[in-house]
Amino acid sequence: MMNTLTTGSQVVSLRDLLSSTLVATVDADTAAAQRYYSNMCELAFEHYDKGTDEAGNLRTLTFWYTDAVGTTQSLDIPILSLLPLPLLQVKEADFGFNVRIADLSESQEEAFFLFDGSSDLPKSECHIPPQLRVALRSFRSGESSSDECTNAYMPNMKVNVRLHQADLPGGLSRFLQFVNNMEFKSVENNKIKDDAEHE
């Protein structure tokens, strides 16, 4: 008789179960970095072409004031220097599973276990171990047959993720330093004043 446990929709390879959490964590970090880059470009530049990665002028906030000697001054402050964007990455990721061993199945030959050109080796020389398959169970204690439908909606994985501020890449750090050190222009009578001409 076939074990009904192995035919359930939640029976998976233990290796796939563990590796999927690692892949999901890496993908999450990558997606967060891509979103940071996209948001930064949209915030920093007046226009940005995602297809060509070409950006326009820096988006700035301009305000005017009159100094003590009556000269009209304007300050152009890059928007990017006013609004901090958090660059986060996963610091710790804890995954907890409640599983039951379902069966031990023969492994299929898988390409990523073999080096290029070794696919012609006899199966006996590949040394691919059997796959341990497990069934996911809910964390609810005291399960009974009457609770089977309810348990199908109970969580069977606990995830605890801690984030922290990532180190800025060298190129991004230099770009932000350039933005923060931009010179402002001095204006008198609504015209840009060339300080060099008055020296």
Query: For the segment 79-119, what is each residue's pLDDT rounded down to a tens digit?
Result: 888 888 888 999 999 998 888 888 877 665 554 444 455 55
Task: Please give the pLDDT value at position 154.
Answer: 65
Classify 70 in phi/psi space as left (phi over 0), alpha (psi -120 to 50) or beta: left
Side-chain half-sphere CA neighbours of 186 within 13 A = 9
- Cβ-contact 32, 88 below 8 angstroms: yes
Report CA dihedral (32, 33, 38, 43) to the nearest 10 degrees: 90
pLDDT of residue 198: 47
Chain position carrying tokens 């399960």: 143
- How high is the pLDDT of residue 6? 43
- The mean pLDDT values, 10 residues at a time, for the chain of 199 residues are 47 88 93 91 88 86 84 84 86 88 70 50 59 79 53 72 89 84 58 46
Tell me, what's the pLDDT at 130?
78
Q: Which of 60, 62, 63, 64 is nearest to 81 (CA)?
A: 60
pLDDT at 28: 93
pLDDT score of 4:
43
Domain boundaries, the chain: 9-198
